[in-house]
Amino acid sequence: MAAAEFDIPEVKDTIEIPKLREGAMAHAKSFIAPKPVQDFMGYPHELGEDWKERALDKMGDLLGKYRSLKVFLDACVHCGACTDKCHYYLGTSDPKNMPVARQDLMRQVYRRYFTTAGKLFPKLVGAKELSKEVLDDWYSYYHQCSECRRCSVFCPYGIDTAEITMAGREILNHVGMGQKYSNEILGKVQKIGNNLGLPGPALEDTLLGLEEDIEADTGVPVKLPMDVKGAEVLLVTPSADFFSEPHVESLIGYAKVFHAAGINWTLSSHASEAGNFGLFNGNYETMRKVAMRIRDAALELGVKRIVVGECGHAWRVAYSFWNTLTGIGYGGNDPFSIELQKQLDHNYPQPQHICELTNDLIKAGKIQVDPSKNDDLVVTYHDSCNVARASRMGDMPGGQFIIPRELIKSVVNNFHNMADDTIYESTFCCGGGGGLLTDDLMEVRVKGALPRVTALNAVVQEHQVNFMATICAICKAQFTKVLPKYGFDMSMVGGVHQLVSKAIKLEVAEQAD
């Protein structure tokens, strides 16, 4: 559906902090989830008489369950250090997109109903009644936060606005104001097995088609197996990898890596999705249900290792939460987690990121690559927020920055980083994460991409960079849509395994077999 017209921001040489423009993005409203979508999720689809009590009840419930929420709502001193850290503020200049102001939308209500000071002197401490206007603000601005955690890096107490946004969306869901995009996807993944809603047979066809393409292209019969019992590795990857460009190029890359290394692997039709939008909505039970598909598939197929494809928030959920939610990992001492953990091969981290796997194979000489195959490219790397600030790779802090770069540098000859304050843990979100990757939020997405585009533009000017690699399905989809608005070619963005795919030598492993 066509969104309203808006101006594309001008790309300057450096990222500038704009002057406030109040209400600049108040009109941006993601579509509300209709009845069938909300019904499936067990949420109401419209505000009832008692919405206010329901909202406050839910808030009380969450305050009791999440220390993060309670401490973050209390601890902020309004120092202002985070005010210029959010890409949505930098791109839209709407003050309510400053992290602390976004938190304050909830904090004002928290203070009014849950704190002594706010009950006694609401005006003094900025406490406010929960009104329909406040609720509308929540809906609007909690869907202009990609839960990227950049603000959390810079806050002296680590206050993570993403936690507040998640709680806000959870409360909105409970009063009947769900977001269509995320909740539809959560329905599809639970009913069909993946976010795109591809049924098993369609998936099988696609994989066969890809196998033919690869063979035609390389002359090597690289397979994309599905539901193979007893395989060593279960690969769980975002469903965009099966269908979207440029994602599919990375899927081909993973397949070639497994083939070249002689690893017996499989996809699962039951768990044909690594993404987990339960994260975005801040609902533990939903996130757990969606993650359980992976556990079930792993038990069913009897695999020894679980590897995750290129997806940012999926990697956060996998790395940081799977062990908690489903027992995929180590160190469990309860029957639930032991059941799975005794099946897994303890020589490998569980779950493992595909970049960890490929990088280890290259370093160990188990697969060969020829970086000159990518000599037409000058590459930069976009750290995806969930990988950078909410997870890790390898065995030391910061491995999530080192390993993908090591891997890229082993398969390409020309690599340049973007400016330091826009990469690593200071990376700027692509602008489409956290459940915002929908056309009805296009203005937010385009404007939110401004800081990243500014940094990219600088290396394009200086080093003639013509390819930005990334390991997130959302980043890829967002950039292919948004970069053209800023005058860049959409094929400029792609996966790390897209580069691996071009450089990998398939024949060598054939001989070694």
Partner 1 sequence: MIFAGVFYIATLLLVAGLVYKIFDYSRTPAPLKIPTTPAPTTQSGVVYRMAKEVVLFESLFKSNKWIWVFGWLFHFGLFLVLVRHLRYFLPTIPEWLVFIQPFGMYASFMMVVGLAGLLARRFLVDRVRYISTPSDYLMLVLLLGIGLTGMMTTFVVHTDIVALKEFFMGLMYFDVQPVPTDPIILTHLALVALLMVIFPISKLLHAPGVFFSPTRNQADNPREHRHVAAWAARLDQNN
**CA distances (Å), origin 32, targets 158, 179, 420, 484:** 31, 5, 38, 28
Residue from 93, 146, 350, 414 that binds ligand SF4 (CB under 6 A)? 146
In the bound state with partner 1, the residue whose beta carbon lies nearer, of 75 and 208, is: 75
Min dist CB 162 to ligand HEM, Å, is 20
- Contact residues for 454 (Cβ-Cβ < 8 A; gap 6+): 11, 12, 13, 14, 15
Structure letter (DSSP) for residue 426:
G
Under the binding rule (CB under 6 A), the answer on residue 449 touching ligand SF4 is no
Q: Which does 24 bind (CB under 5 to 8 A by kind): ligand HEM, ligand SF4, partner 1, none?
A: none
Q: Report CA torsion sign: 248, 238, 319, 30.
A: positive
Q: Residue 317 Cβ, how far from partner 1 at the closest point, in Å?
A: 10
450 binds, among ligand SF4, partner 1, ligand HEM, none (CB under 5 to 8 A by kind): none
Least distance from C-beta 165 to ligand SF4, angstroms?
Answer: 6
Instruction: List all residues 6 or more positions away from 434 whose beta carbon is below 8 Å from its beta carbon.
Output: 145, 146, 147, 148, 162, 165, 280, 313
Q: Six-digit token pair at 23?
A: 């209400």
Q: Does residue 159 interact with ligand SF4 by CB under 6 A?
A: yes
- The listed partner (ligand SF4, partner 1, ligand HEM, none) that binds 290, CB under 5 to 8 Å by sort, is none
Q: Does 79 bind ligand SF4 (CB under 6 A)?
A: yes
- Using CB under 6 A, which of 162, 214, 387, 393 touches ligand SF4? 162
- Tell me the closest approach of the beta carbon of residue 176 to partner 1, in angstroms: 25
Helix ranges restricted to H, 433-491: 442-448, 450-463, 473-482
Near ligand HEM in 152-211, by CB under 6 A: 156
CB of 78 to ligand HEM, least distance (A): 6
User: Which partner, partner 1, ligand HEM, ligand SF4, none, binds residue 512 by CB below 5 to 8 Å per kind?
Assistant: none
Scanning residues 416 to 445, which ones bind ligand SF4 (CB under 6 A)?
Answer: 429
Binding residue for ligand SF4, selected from 12, 46, 67, 77, defined by CB under 6 A: 77
Residue 453 corresponds to which tokens in the numbers above?
């585009």
Closest CB 406 distance from ligand HEM, rounded Å: 35
- Closest approach, Cβ 68 to ligand SF4, in A, equals 13
Of 377-406, binders to ligand SF4 (CB under 6 A) are none
Q: Whole-angstrom Cα distance, residue 268 to residue 281? A: 25
Q: Which of 55, 90, 175 is nearest to 421 (CA)?
A: 90
Q: Note whether 3 and 442 are within 8 A (CB).
A: yes
Joined together, the tokens standing for residue 39 give 């019904």
Using the rule CB under 6 A, which residue among 69, 73, 82, 453 binds ligand SF4? 82
336 binds, options ligand HEM, partner 1, ligand SF4, none, Cβ within 5 to 8 A by partner type: partner 1
Contacted by 147, from partner 1, ligand SF4, ligand HEM, none: CB < 5 to 8 Å by type: ligand SF4
Per CB under 6 A, which of residues 351..370 are in contact with ligand HEM? none
Q: How many residues bind ligand HEM (CB under 6 A)?
A: 3
The structure tokens listed for 378 are 């000058």
* Token representation of residue 400: 């999530």
Cα→Cα distances 210→39, 243, 477, Å? 37, 10, 20
C-alpha to C-alpha distance for 141 and 100, rounded to whole angstroms: 12
92 is an interface residue for ligand SF4 by CB under 6 A: no
Which alpha helices (DSSP H) does 192-321 contain, by range? 200-218, 240-243, 247-261, 278-281, 284-301, 312-316
Alpha helices per DSSP H over 24-86: 35-41, 51-65, 67-75
Are 174 and 115 in contact, with CB atoms under 8 Å apart?
Answer: no
Q: How near is the Cβ of 159 to ligand HEM at its closest, in Å?
A: 11
Q: Is the CB of residue 354 less than 8 Å from the CB of residue 310?
A: yes
Between CA 253 and CA 339, with CA 351 as vertex, the angle to 5 degrees is: 135
Determine the interface stretch with ligand SF4 among 36-44, 151-159, 229-237, 493-501 (rule: CB under 6 A). Answer: 151-159
Q: Are 296 and 288 a contacting pair, CB within 8 Å? A: no
Q: Which CB atom, from 155 or from 362, has the smaller least distance to ligand HEM?
A: 155
86 binds, among partner 1, ligand SF4, ligand HEM, none (CB under 5 to 8 A by kind): ligand SF4
Choice between 41 and 159, CB closer to ligand SF4 = 159
Q: Distance between CA atoms of 513 and 508, rounded to whole angstroms? A: 9
Applying CB under 6 A, does 151 fall inside the site for ligand SF4?
A: yes
Which of these ranges, 78-86, 180-188, 482-490, 503-511, lies near ligand SF4 under the rule CB under 6 A? 78-86
Binding to ligand SF4 in span 165-204, by CB under 6 A: 165
128 or 452: CB nearest partner 1: 128
Report the distance separating Cα 366 and Cα 263, nearest Å.
11
Interaction mask 67-106, ligand HEM, x per CB under 6 A: ----------x-x---------------------------
Q: Where are the alpha helices (DSSP H) in 67-199?
A: 67-75, 87-92, 99-114, 116-120, 132-141, 150-154, 161-175, 180-191
Contact residues: ligand HEM, CB under 6 A: 77, 79, 156
Contact residues: ligand SF4, CB under 6 A: 76-82, 85-86, 88, 99-100, 102, 145-151, 155-157, 159, 161-162, 165, 429
